[in-house]
Structure 1
Amino acid sequence: MSIARPALAAVPCLLVADVAQAARYYRDTLGFSEIEFLEDPPVALYVRRGSATLLLQATDRADASVAEVSPRRLAVHAWDALLLVDDVEALAADLKARGARITVGLGITPVSDHTLEVRDPWGNLLAFAGAPVGLLSHATDRARRLLPPPVMRRVRELRAAREERAPAQAVRDFCAALDGQKPFYMFFTKGLLHWVRQAAAQVPPDVTLALIGSDLPPDELEWLRQRLDRPVHNIALGVDDNTTWEFLFDAHQSDFGWLDIDCFVLNPALFAEMTRFEPGVAVNGMWTYDAVPGAPIACTHFAFINAEVLRDLRTQGDALSPTNYDWTGATISLLHPRTQCRVPTKRQRELLLRVLPEDPSGRPRPPGGSTFFDTLVAYQVGAYARGFRTEAVRPLAHRTQAGLSSAAQDSPVWQQDMSDEVVHVGAVSYYRRDFHSSPLRAMYLAAEYALIAAADGDLPDSYVKRADQLSAELSEHGLSADEGVTMLRDHLVHDRGLAEVTADRVLGRNS
């Protein structure tokens, strides 16, 4: 079959060690259904999927290693080919179904905020990105031109409310049994049991830790119920943490807390401290930063909510949701496909302006140089405007993007403090959708590997395959699995200041 070629087109050229094997891989695993071999015996081939064409060329040596085929000496994460698609989410689902190894994505890059990477068996990095507006036609763009943004947002909110009605009621029923027990909720999606296992192991039995999963597969749900002696609820609908926060705000009549799956509370006395409120406190937090000088804002990693203050704010009629806010109702797909921002009402905007400075459009500026109000931020600012504050239970700093940008660059500046009492990792559920530097990516891979290895087989079977995959990915960073874990332990001790026993405990070496 001859592949039609336009009058002028750019075709990325990749090296492979075996042309026949490459044809099978690109056809069966990556979905390039049109194939044209060049010469007999073939020394190269064209492969095509949709309007994208690649030229795969054989190396001079059939025994060439991955490093020799696709050298990474100058740029470890540079792409060998970029392919623009009109529906990258659908493509990602198709590639996963075919068994392709997506190394990163969907994530944000300078090319597109919907980008994924696939590495072929010869080390070539292929990037698939949502095409910028103007390059490809999007039905959604046409819809946006036809409907005003507020109408689009309202339609989306009504659809979400309809989908979430039954799951919200199920969460209310689950929380009713825990009312008055000062529970801490741990939320997670599939594929994260190694983090749940390790974080839950640090929580004393007398602390009510309630586990809320979202769209968990049967084997993971069964594992939770058999292995962890904690209340478990699975939200059948695939939701994000913001939606779960809203469910909890709606469900609870008494105080409750939140604990991230990658937050390890190593001093059990912290739980009691977190549940004690001083007068006028809306939220107790472990990591904080200033919305404005003198007005600390707690991160959600380890936080506790004063239900009495929440009721008071609702009585006044302009309480903000714990979810994200911005001015366009944007979707933050890096975090979760359902992570969509609400838009403050006029009264809520006026409330926020009592605390925050204006942006050039006269709107309250999100704290810390962010482009949006992150989870629980707008709620806390609104509470501060009404005379309620956030209490920093420990003076652990969270450095915003603005703070990181202004920090001295002569030594590494980390976003969050760690201590021998409590450690938070951050972004473990979505780091694969972010295009980190190679050393940081290797630390995430090593952390995952360490926790799966620490389980010593006490996880569903899929995690064994996951450990093998993590080991293979670490090798692409020049590290064996054991070397990666050692590197991470050294980082925790020497760069982050943790005691050796703390680092070992976090990594599951002596838990």
Structure 2
Amino acid sequence: MGGINREHVRLHGVPCLLVDQVVEAAEYYRDRLGFTHVELLEDPPVAAVVRRGSAAVLLQAVTQSGDVSLRQFAEQAWDALFEVDDIEALATDLRRRHADVQVGLGITPVSNRTLEVRDKWGNVLAFAERADRRRLNARRIARAAVPAPVRRSWAQARRDREDRPHQRELHRFCRSLRGSDPFYMYFTRGLLHWVYQAQRHVPADVNLVLLGSDLPDAEVDWLRANVDRPLHNIRLGVDDNTTWEFLFSANDRNFGWLDIDCFVLAPQLFTEMATIADDVAVNGIWTYPVADGLPIACTHFAFVNLQAAHALQRGGAAMSPTNYDWNGSNISLMHPRTHCRVPSPRQRRELLKVLPPDAHGRPCPPGGSPFFDTLVAYQVSAYANGYRTHPVRPLAHRTEDSLGETANGKRVWQQDMSPEVVHVGGVSYYQRYFHSPALRAMYLAAEYAMLRGLVDRLPASYGGRLARITTGLAHHRLRPSDAVALVHHHLTEDRGLPGPAADQVLGGKP
């Protein structure tokens, strides 16, 4: 029987986007987004076809000006989706062209590596990495040929070789520190505004040590000139997990950790945190229960009894402060180097003394998490060997099991805040995460609040950052003048902080 063989009909879709200036839009897509082949339709142009490789977009004229994106009808809507083979190369090119990258290499239902860009007319374009079947098959063959434990061992050995010289440098720096037990504040590039604002609340007699990773010279110079605190820049780009491991190895005394988005408004907390009992492994502010209600501390503001760590190590029961899971997973959303160690058989037995087993007889990570987060496995192993975690304040951290709950019709947030201490969370990686628009707007407003009065004193690159934040606020229909008020309202009305405490967080006098 004749006719068309429908199996062999080739279809290519072309997204159709609305713009109010066709020629300007075509030039924008050419220069900012790399759609270098431009075809204007009719004279004067009523539409344009722009192409980049095999992808095309039809830009159509519309009489109204302003935001014409589908996002005004659905919070997470995209106006166009493109599949790409090399998302890293595309991301590099788009940033070089100064495209307005809204979310960088985050996880979506479409792909584990998705990039979101917004054009000048409010259209939201998503670029998702497409799985290369040939590469996937080659990877499967390689994995079948080399057992998983061997592959993990090779990868860990490679990371250890990379880490070793930087670990030695940090060891020398830590041993040179004078004064009381230190509190370390770790951060990566582009976050000086958060570092500066958080350290303002730390009393001068607290031995706060700034610990940067892969900072450019301009940021190192600025910190040395403007912040009177010890500073060490780890030349290698490392994540917080690696830094925790470095600190466990490099220190010979107890130490604390303070996140750059943790604002300690009550100075006496530092004294209370640094006062740690012999049978306590970790002092914490935010905790959540593991089996039998035993508290586990989050790392946002924590203090470690290093003598307990050494005792665990001598007994052969110590676990690293890093992440653990059963596959040695890489969690690139957090940082390119963030990976999980795999518990040894002995460590697994230690964890099972405290945690219930899963269907495979392995200890379940607390709180419904798919992995053991930073310092969690270490604290559980400490419990198994007679040490405990002490909540210096009873502030709750809500885990995967309890997020999304509501109480009296109001949202329950992941962490409590108090007039003594406030933690924001996620400021170093929120741009890689597909938050709801309302929460993303809150992050942008918080960034603006931290940066607005400081930008003229910071390195020149921060002026561009403020401009991008201001543009992002505009996409959410927020003026810069509204940003601080939005965050203040959130802190007081949604999170229950007194007005003076909210003022302190937002740049008032500590």
Structure 2 partner of 1:246: 245
Partner of 2:47: 44
**What code does the residue aligned with 1:131 have?**
R
Q: Matched residue of 1:127: which SS?
A: strand
- Which residue of 2 is the match for residue 32 of structure 1? 35
Report the CA distance between 1:492 and its aligned residue. Answer: 0.5
Pair 385,135 (structure 1): closer, same or farther in 2 beyond 3 Å: same
| Residue of structure 1 in register with 2:6 after alignment | none
Alpha-carbon distance in structure 2 between the residues aligned to 1:136 and 1:129: 17
Q: What's the CA shift string for 1:447-468, capped at 9, x where partnerless?
A: 1101111326222222222222
Q: Quote the residue 1:332 is aligned against.
A: 331
Distance of 1:356 and 1:87 partners within structure 2:
41
Partner of 1:73: 72
Offset from partner CA, 1:280-305 (integer Å, 9 cap, x none) = 10000010001112311000000001
The equivalent of 1:3 in structure 2 is: none
Look up the match of 1:296.
295
Q: Which amino acid aligns with 1:94?
A: D
Q: Give the SS at the match of 2:71.
A: coil
SS where residue 99 of structure 2 aligns?
A: coil
- State the AA in 2 paired with 1:9: H
Shift of 1:361: 1.1
The CA deviation string for residues 463-486 of structure 1, in whole angstroms up to 9 with x for no partner, is 222222212211211211121210
Q: Distance in 2 between matches of 1:136 and 1:484?
A: 46
Cα distance change of structure 1 residues 138 and 462 upon mapping to structure 2, 3 Å threshold: farther
**C-alpha distance in 2 between matches for 1:483 and 1:89:** 35
Task: Give 1:37 deviation, angstroms.
Answer: 4.1
Q: Secondary structure at the match of 1:66?
A: coil
Residue identity matched to 1:450: A
- Kindly provide the amino acid, as one letter, of the partner of residue 96 in structure 1: R
1: CA distance between counterparts of 2:428 and 2:138?
A: 30
Q: TM-score if structure 2 supplies the norm length?
A: 0.94
Classify 1:28/1:147 alpha carbon distance in 2 versus 1 (closer, same or farther; 3 Å): farther
Q: Within the alignment, does 1:56 sit opposite 2:80 as a pair?
A: no
Aligned partner of 2:429 in structure 1 is 430
How far the C-alpha of 1:142 sits from its partner, in A, is 5.8
Residues of 2 paired with 1:193 and 1:313: CA distance?
36
Q: Which residue of the partner structure matches residue 15 of structure 1?
A: 18
Q: What is the percentage of aligned positions where both structures have the same residue?
A: 58
Q: CA deviation at 1:55?
A: 2.3
The Cα shift of 1:334 comes to: 1.3
Task: Describe the SS at the equivalent of 2:290.
Answer: strand
For 1:228, the equivalent position in structure 2 comes to 227
Structure 2 unaligned blocks of 5 or more = 1-8
Contact 2:211 2:232 in 1 (8 A): yes
- What corresponds to 1:214 in structure 2? 213
Is the contact made by 2:274 and 2:303 (CA closer than 8 Å) also made in structure 1? yes
Residues 321-341 of structure 1: per-residue CA shift (max 9 Å, x gap): 111111111111111111011
CA distance in 2, matches of 1:499, 1:292: 34
Tell me which moved more, 477-486 or 191-200.
Answer: 477-486
Cα deviation for residue 221 of structure 1 reads: 0.9
The residue that corresponds to 1:127 in the other structure is 126
Structure 2 partner of 1:93 = 92
Change (3 A) 1:489 1:116: same
Per-residue Cα deviation, 1:77-98 (whole angstroms, up to 9, x for no partner): 3101111223322321221122
Is the CA contact 1:14–1:54 (under 8 Å) kept in the aligned structure 2?
Answer: no
Normalising by structure 1, what TM-score? 0.94
Contact 2:333 2:432 in 1 (8 A): yes
- Tell me, in whole angstroms, the C-alpha distance in 2 between the residues paired with 1:140 and 1:96: 30
In 1, are the aligned partners of 2:353 and 2:384 still within 8 Å (CA)? yes
User: What code does the residue aligned with 1:7 have?
Assistant: R
Q: For the structure 1 residues 431 and 40, does the alpha-carbon distance in structure 2 shift closer, same or farther, using more than 3 Å as the test?
A: same
Where 1:103 maps in the other structure, the secondary structure is: strand
Query: Which one is further off, 141-150 or 238-247?
Result: 141-150
Residues 415-469 of structure 1: CA deviation (Å, up to 9, x unaligned): 0010111110000101111111122111111111011113262222222222222
Distance 1:236 1:260 in 2: 20
Cα deviation, residue 317, structure 1: 1.4
Q: Alignment partner of 2:96: what SS?
A: helix
Q: 2:475: which partner in 1? A: 476
Query: Would you say the 8 A contact 1:30–1:95 is kept in 2?
Result: yes
Secondary structure of the structure 2 residue equivalent to 1:454: coil
CA distance in 1, matches of 2:192, 2:209: 14
Give the whole-Å Cα distance in 1 for the aligned partners of 2:79 and 2:135: 22
Q: Verify: 1:442 aligned to 2:444, yes or no.
A: no
Q: Are the structure 2 counterparts of residues 60 and 436 from structure 1 closer, same or farther at C-alpha, using a change threshold of 3 Å?
A: closer
How far 1:107 moved relative to its partner?
Answer: 1.2
Deviation at 1:139, TM superposition (A): 6.2
1:265 aligns with: 264
Contact 2:264 2:421 in 1 (8 A): yes
CA contact (8 A) 2:491 2:497 kept: yes
User: Which residue pairs with 2:409 in the alignment?
Assistant: 410
Structure 1, unmatched stretches of 5+, are: 1-5
**Alignment RMSD, CA only?**
2.1
SS class of match (1:391): strand
Cα distance in structure 2, aligned partners of 1:354 and 1:85:
47
Following superposition, the deviation at residue 43 of structure 1 comes to: 3.5
1:40 to partner: Cα distance: 5.0
Instruction: Name 1:280's counterpart in structure 2.
Output: 279
Deviates more, 1:485-494 or 1:125-134: 125-134
| 2:460 equivalent in structure 1 | 461
Structure 2 residue matching 1:339: 3-state secondary structure: coil
Do 1:256 and 1:306's aligned partners in 2 also have CA atoms closer than 8 Å?
A: yes
Change (3 A) 1:407 1:136: farther
Shift of 1:407: 5.0
1:173 maps to what in 2?
Answer: 172
Inter-partner Cα distance in structure 2 for 1:409 and 1:338: 41
Task: Describe the superposition over 1:177-231 as per-residue Cα deviations: whole angstroms up to 9, x where unpaired.
Answer: 1267310000001111110001100001111000011111111111100000001
Query: Which stretch shows the higher mean deviation, 26-35 or 222-231?
Result: 26-35
1:188 aligns with 2:190: no
Is residue 455–residue 463 contact of structure 2 (8 Å, CA) maintained in 1?
Answer: no
Q: Partner letter of residue 176 of structure 1? A: R
1:234 match: secondary structure? strand
Alpha-carbon distance in structure 1 between the residues aligned to 2:264 and 2:115: 34
Contact 2:185 2:211 survives alignment (8 Å): yes
Aligned residues of 2:22 and 2:61 also touching (Cα < 8 A): no
Kindly indicate whether the alpha-carbon contact (under 8 Å) linking 1:285 and 1:300 is maintained by their aligned counterparts in 2: yes
Q: Distance in 1 between matches of 2:179 and 2:327?
A: 38
Q: Distance in 1 between matches of 2:480 and 2:248?
A: 42
Provide closer, same or farther for how the CA distance between residues 119 and 198 of structure 1 changes in structure 2, counting only shifts above 3 A.
same
Q: Are the equivalent residues in 1 in contact too, given 2:348–2:362 (CA < 8 A)?
A: yes
Q: Distance in 2 between matches of 1:180 and 1:144?
A: 50
Give 1:19 shift. 3.2
Whole-Å Cα distance in 1 between the matches of residues 361 and 96 of structure 2?
Answer: 47
Identify the range of structure 1 (134-143 vs 220-229) with the bigger mean alpha-carbon deviation: 134-143
- Paired residue total: 503
Distance 1:461 1:140 in 2: 43
